[in-house]
Amino acid sequence: MMTSIETIRADFPILQRTVKDHPLAYLDNAASSQKPLAVLQAMDDYYRHTNANVHRGVHTLSEEATRLYEGARGRIGRFINAGSSKEIIFTRNATEAINLVAYSWGLDNLGPGDEVLITEMEHHANIVPWQLVCQRTGATLRYIPIDARGDLRLDLLDELLTERTRLFAFVAMSNVLGTINPTAQLVARAHTVGALALVDGAQSVPHMPVDVQALDCDFLVFSGHKMCGPTGIGVLYGRRDLLEQMPPFMGGGDMIREVHMDGSRWNSLPWKFEAGTPAIAEAIGLGAAVDYLSELGMPWVREQEHALVNYAVEKLSQVEGLRIIGPDGDQRGGVVAFTLDDIHPHDIAAILDSEGIAIRAGHHCAQPIHDHFGIVATARASFYFYNTFEEVDRLVAAMEKVQSVFSF
Amino acid sequence: MDQLYREAILDHYRYPRHKGHLDDPDVSYHDHNPFCGDEITLELNIEDGVVVDAAFDGRGCAISQASASMMTEEIIGKPLEELRGWTKDDILELLGIEIGPVRLKCALLPLKALKAGVWGIEDWPHEE
Ligand SMILES: Cc1ncc(COP(=O)(O)O)c(C=O)c1O
C-alpha cells in the first residue's frame, strides 16, 4: 500500500509537537519508535471497556480480555510467520527474551567444553546474559570480530563455529553500524555444525520483512516499543520442540498446571514461560502495532528507510570532518552513527536538541563496537518510515551549527 | 544560542586554564565516566592545608572539560577545609547553567575527582 508521508505522519500525534520552538525531528528510532493513534486507541479501549485479568475469571470481561490478549499473540505470530502461536512467548522486551533462553536453555544445556558464539557487534543485551551463563556453566564465550567497514569477519566463521558451538546468537541488524547480516545464511551455518541459532531481531523485525520459517532460526527476539508498540512488551519466538523441552524461566501463577506442596506441573506452551499477570494492554497494543505495520507493508517500510538512509549517508559524507562508521548505504539499515571533528557526541546531540532534532549520543549499549573503532562514543541518527528527507536536510544543516559553536 | 553553551563555557572549553601536569603533585587522581567517556586527571599541590597549585588533564564533552578548567582555576588559593564542603551547587554556580541529570554527571566529574583524590570519598555524589 502506498500512502503519502503526510497522511502517515498524521497518524502519530507526537510528530506534531515542537521542541525548543522547532518542529520535532525525531531521529532516535533505534532507541524507541513513536506510536500511532491505532495503538494508543487499542490500549485505551481495552482499559475503558474490557480491563480484567486473563486466563482466570469466568466472567465476561476476563473472557474478552483473554480473547484480545491471545488474539494479539496470534497476529504477532503471523507477522513473523511463526508456525503456531504456541511459539510466541510474551516477555518485557528483547533483553528479557534473551535472558529467558540464556537461563532456561543455557543453564540446562551448557557445560565445560561447550561454546557460545556471538559477535563483536552485539548489543549488550546479547553479550551480558551469555557472559553470566558461561561463567555459571563453565562454557566458553567466543566472538566473531568485525572488519574496518563494520561487517562480520565471515572468513573466520569456519574457525569459530565448530562442533563445540552449542548456540550461535547474533544480531540481524546492528543498532550502531546499521549492518544487515546475512541472517538465513548464518542460521544455516550454525545448523551444519549442530548448533542452535538465536537471532536478535530488535532492529530487524521493526524495519524489514522477517519470516522465521524462511530464516529457519531456533529463536528470534524483539521488543514492541521499537516497532510502534508500547514499552513493557517483547517477544521470544522459539521452535516448539525446543520450548517444550526447556524448563520454566520464572515460577508463579499462570505458568503452572498443578501446584502441590511437594512439587508442581507446568502449564503448556506458551504459558509455561509467562509467570504472573502479563502485560495485557501492552500485548494488545503490540497486536495493533503489527496490524498497522502490515497495512503499510514491511517491504515498503524497508524501501522507505533505505531511501532515507542512502540520502543521509550521501549528504552527511559531504560534511567536512564528519566520519560515518559502518557499511555503505546499500547494506545498511536506517541507522547512521558518526563522529564530527573531535567534538564530543554529547555536545553534538545537545546542539541538535536546541534545533528540535532528537538523536542519540553515547555508546548505544554496544561498547565493543566503539572499542573496535577506538572511539568512546558516537552520535547516531536513526530513521523510521515516518521520517522525511527534509528532516535529513535539517540534520545536515545542524552540523554546520555544531561546527560553528565549537570552532576554535 | 543554546543556553547550555554560554560563551564562558565555550571559552574555557577552547582555552582551558591550568591544563597539563604539575612537576611533583602532592595529589593526583584520575577518574572517568564510562557512560560517555569523559576523562579527567586532577593534580594538586598543597601547603599548610591550602591548594597552592592545581592542574588537570582530560578529554570529553565541553561541559566536563569547561567544568574542570573553571574548578581548577577557582580552587587555587583556597583552603581544603573550605573545599571539603563544596557541593554540586558550587559547580553549577561556576558554570552558570541549569543541566539535566545526564549532563550533570559530566559537570560533576572534576569535583568527584577532587573529593576522591583529597579525602578518599569514592561514592560522591550519592544518587538523589
Ligand atoms: C540490536 C538490539 N538488541 C537488543 C536491544 C535491547 O532492546 P530492549 O532494551 O528493548 O530489551 C536493542 C535496543 O536498543 C537493540 O538495538
Domains, chain B, in order of start with CATH, read 3-119 (3.90.1010.10)
Ligand 1 atom closest to A31 (CA) = 14
Measure the CA–CA gap between A176 and A8, rounded to whole angstroms.
26
Domain boundaries, chain A: 5-30+298-406, 40-295
Catalytic residue among A134, A217, A228, A365: A365
Interface ipTM above 0.90 = no
Q: Give A51-57 contacts, CB < 8 A, sequence gap 24+.
A: A51/A281, A53/A277, A53/A280, A54/A277, A54/A278, A54/A280, A55/A254, A55/A271
Judged by a CB distance cut-off of 8 A, whether residue B10 touches chain A is yes
Whether A134 is a known active-site residue: answer no
What digits encode the pLDDT tens for the residues A232-246? 999 999 999 999 999
**Which of A377, A406, A408 shows the shortest C-beta gap to B36?**
A377
Crossing angle between the packed helical segments A389-406 and A345-354, to the nearest 10 degrees:
120
Listed in order, strand segments (DSSP E) in chain B are 27-33, 38-47, 50-59
What is each CA distance from A34 to A224, A227, A259, A355, A360, in whole angstroms? 11, 8, 42, 19, 15
Chain B hits for A405, Cβ within 8 Å: 1-2, 5, 10
Chain B residues inside the 8 Å CB shell of A351: 2, 5
Distance from the Cα of B85 to chain A's closest Cα (Å) equals: 29
Using the beta-carbon criterion (under 8 Å), do A350 and B1 form an inter-chain contact? no
Nearest residue on chain B to A401, judged by CA atoms? B1
Same fold, A5-30+298-406 and A40-295: no
Q: What is the mean pLDDT of each run of 10 residues along chain A (408 residues)?
A: 84 97 98 98 98 90 96 98 98 98 98 98 98 98 96 97 98 97 98 98 98 98 98 98 96 87 90 96 98 98 97 96 90 95 93 96 89 91 98 97 88
> Do A179 and A148 meet the contact criterion of CB atoms below 8 Å apart?
no
Contact in structure between B110 and B12 (CB atoms under 8 Å)? no
Ligand 1 centroid from CA A322, angstroms: 26
Q: From ligand 1's centre to the CA of A284, what distance in Å?
A: 21
* A40-295 maps to CATH 3.40.640.10: yes
Q: What is residue A173's three-state secondary structure?
A: strand
pTM for the whole structure: 0.93
Looking at the complex, report in whole angstroms how far the Cα of residue B87 sits from the nearest Cα belonging to chain A: 24
Identity of the amino acid at A343: I
DSSP E strands in A227-382: the ranges are: 234-238, 256-260, 263-266, 322-325, 335-340, 357-358, 360-362, 378-382
Q: Could you check whether the bond before residue A270 is cis, i.e. omega within 30 degrees of 0?
A: yes
- The CATH code of the domain at A5-30+298-406 is 3.90.1150.10
Instruction: Specify whether the CB–CB gap between A43 and A49 falls below 8 A.
Output: no
Nearest CA to ligand 1 atom 15: A202
Kindly report, residue by residue over A317-350, the tens digit of the pLDDT: 999 999 999 998 778 999 999 999 989 999 999 9
Q: How far is CA B33 from CA A362, A369, A380, in A?
A: 11, 18, 20
CB pairs under 8 A between A and B: 43
Q: Cell for A220? A: 528470534
Residue A301 near residue A208, CB atoms below 8 Å: yes
pLDDT bucket at B128, cuts 50 / 70 / 90: very low
State in Å: Cα A96 to ligand 1 middle: 10
Q: In testing the pocket of ligand 1, which one of A122, A170, A203 has its CB within 8 Å of the most ligand atoms?
A: A203
* pLDDT recorded at residue A55: 87
Query: Could you say which residues from 91 to 120 on chain B have a Cβ atom under 8 Å away from some Cβ of chain A?
Result: 102-103, 106
Q: Do B4 and A350 touch (CB under 8 A)?
A: yes
- Please state, as a whole number, how many other Cβ atoms lie within 10 Å of the Cβ of residue A51: 14
